[in-house]
Amino acid sequence: MTNNKHVLTWLDEMVALVKPDKVVWIDGSEEQLKALRDEALSTGEMEALNQEELPGCLLHRTKKNDVARVEGRTYICTKNRDDAAPINNWMETSEMKAKLTPMYDGVMKGRTMYVIPYCMGPIGSPFSKVGVELTDSIYVVLNMDIMTRMGQKALDQLGDSNDFVRGLHSKADVDEENRYIVQFPEENTIWSINSAYGGNVLLGKKCFALRIASYQGFKEGWMAEHMLILGIEAPNGETSYITAAFPSACGKTNLAMLIPPEVYAQQGYKVWTVGDDIAWMHIGEDGRLYAINPEAGFFGVAPGTNAKSNYNALASTKKNTIFTNVAHNLDNNTVWWEGLDKNPPVNAVEWTGNKVNGPEYAAQGGKLAHPNSRFTAPAINCPCLSKEFDNPNGVPVTAMVFGGRRAKTAPLVYQSFDWNHGVYVGSAMASETTAAATGAVGVVRRDPMAMRPFCGYNMGDYFSHWLDMGKKLGDKAPKIFNVNWFRTDDEGHFIWPGFGDNMRVLMWILNRCEGKVDAVETAIGYLPKAEDIDVTGLEGEGVTVDTVKDLLTVDSALWLEDCKGVHELYDQIGERVPAELKKQLADLEARLAK
């Protein structure tokens, strides 16, 4: 399939190490993929679902010890500790290889090695990057077909270049004591062993598209960010694009696939999804920032996804989708998860494979689907997929948004004073833990730019890279905002309705970018005038202009308390935190103290 000597030399080295019985190149053809699907069905690794209701859809279960990303087993390995630490787990490159090489030695004896060439980003785009993943898992091959542009076309994109990410994965024995997901950013290499769960083994996703790519962007002058990309099309046909970063459980996918509320839909506004998770951003020929989505599919959390919370995500799963660790409804051979509807199937197989009476099992506190159960769905299924999805040049970014889950501190929305202040706002990002996540509710977890688990190099250098990008962009830089959909009243109820109504806030953001509305200068940034957030149609929810005023209040004492957490974060990151961000923090404290 290729004469690329860099690919072939590395492949020979890896084959000699893992010693597979057979090596199969994945060309991406439907004929080859059908044979692999049939093989997975014959061995029981996958189950075919109701082909009338869910054509092309498959069900898969992982082992009970292998159901999520494992941050504690995820390493960034560099020659010098300070180039990866201190937020990341670190081990020196040669030391980690010495540790893992014996585990890989002969690990694929009796197995087939699949060679998966894949492209992150549109084929033909100057901003796309190629990877090759070697794996002993058919599940990985079938998921990578959905999540990436896979096969011969990726090798054609690579040509003779040595600029490809080398990925080695073996499920081995799925032994959690010896599970490692390791990035070697200085060598463009990823090693993953003893996991078969998507987030640890689909090496194009977080491993390449964020951890390795963030380092590539740092070295090459672009950005790889944990951000959705959405377009808002005005009635005149012009579309403005927003990227947004949120920690987990903050409604990122829901925002990416937002359905406009009636007040905007009637005027002819539309929302288009470019990406739900990752944005690669480059400076275009016109000096503006352009974003592509490196992925070709959605790897979404199933529980909580339903026709009301996210109609477009649910619609995306209706064909050619792989469901992992959800419940199996035996009566109609479809799938079910908590939050899909209120009717757990009576004749069910829960996610670990046990046959149960669904309603009885749920009544006893059992979960039919694992809380981190997933769907891998082709982006092309999404009803609101942007026509710019495959644009090789990407889409121009008008605004960047940061957000988190804060009960009292952050207002509904505010704008940073300028780019550098916006970088500070992103660096200080935090979310409060919920009852679902842990016993201690309201604990603040700092997650700069929502990149804490995904930054492939020193976080201080990462902040510096953001500041440098601002210098290059100058007055063409996107405006930076912060949002908080999660303010609560004294009884703990959310005040803002969220979901599609978040578009009301996005419209204020775009109006600010276009100079259509004024704002109020405060200690933390520019706040909206309450009447500039359109609440038409929210009367039934009890949301008025006065509600918005309440959502925009800033408590200086709470903010000063919050600044202590930012100091702690900066102290933890250490001496590579840019002086500019320390100055931004000091300036904020001075303004608040006034």
| Residue 491 reports pLDDT greater than 60 | yes
Q: How far apart, in whole angstroms, are the C-alpha atoms of residue 423 and residue 469? A: 10
Q: Which CATH number fits domain 298-381: 2.40.50.140, 2.170.8.10, 3.40.1190.20, 3.40.50.720?
A: 2.170.8.10
Report whether pLDDT(21) > 80: yes
Residue 196 has pLDDT above 80, yes or no: yes
pLDDT at 437: 44
Determine the CATH number of domain 5-46+68-221. Answer: 3.40.449.10
In this prediction, residue 436 carries a pLDDT of 44
Residue 377: what residue type? Answer: A
Residue 128: per-residue pLDDT: 98
Same fold, 225-294+387-573 and 298-381: no
Active site residue 250: yes
pLDDT of residue 248: 83
The class (CATH top level) of 225-294+387-573 is alpha beta
Q: pLDDT tens digits, residue range 428-461?
A: 999 987 654 445 667 899 999 999 999 999 999 9
Q: Sorting pLDDT into bands at 50, 70 and 90, what band is 249?
A: confident
* Phi, psi dihedrals of residue 112, rounded to the nearest 5°: -100, 135
Mean pLDDT (whole number) for 563-582: 98
Query: What is the model's pLDDT at position 438?
Result: 41
* Start-to-end CA span in the chain (Å): 67
Confidence of residue 4 (pLDDT cuts 50, 70, 90): very high
In angstroms, rounded to a whole number, what is the distance separating the alpha carbons of residues 452 and 569? 11
Of 257, 260, 259, 261, the closest CA to residue 277 belongs to 257
Strands annotated E in 384-478: 395-403, 413-415, 430-432, 444-446
Find where tokens 């959800």 sit.
Answer: 326
| CB-CB neighbours of 186 under 10 Å | 18
Cβ pair 562, 404 in contact under 8 A:
no
The domain locations on the chain are 5-46+68-221, 225-294+387-573, 298-381
Map residue 281 onto helix, strand or coil: strand
Q: Identify whether the C-beta of residue 563 lies closer than 8 Å to the C-beta of residue 586.
A: no
pLDDT, tens digit (0-9, with 9 covering 90-100), for 91-114: 999 999 999 999 999 999 999 999
Q: Does the pLDDT value for residue 155 go beyond 50?
A: yes
Of 56, 120, 122, nearest to 387 by C-alpha is 122
Cis peptide before 86 (omega within 30 of 0): yes
Mean pLDDT computed over 12-23 = 98
pLDDT in tens, 353-382: 999 999 999 999 999 999 999 999 999 999
**Mean pLDDT of the region 546-554:** 98
Of 250, 382, 384, 455, the catalytic one is 250
Q: Give the pLDDT confidence score for residue 429 in this predicted structure.
A: 97
- Mean pLDDT for all residues in the chain: 97
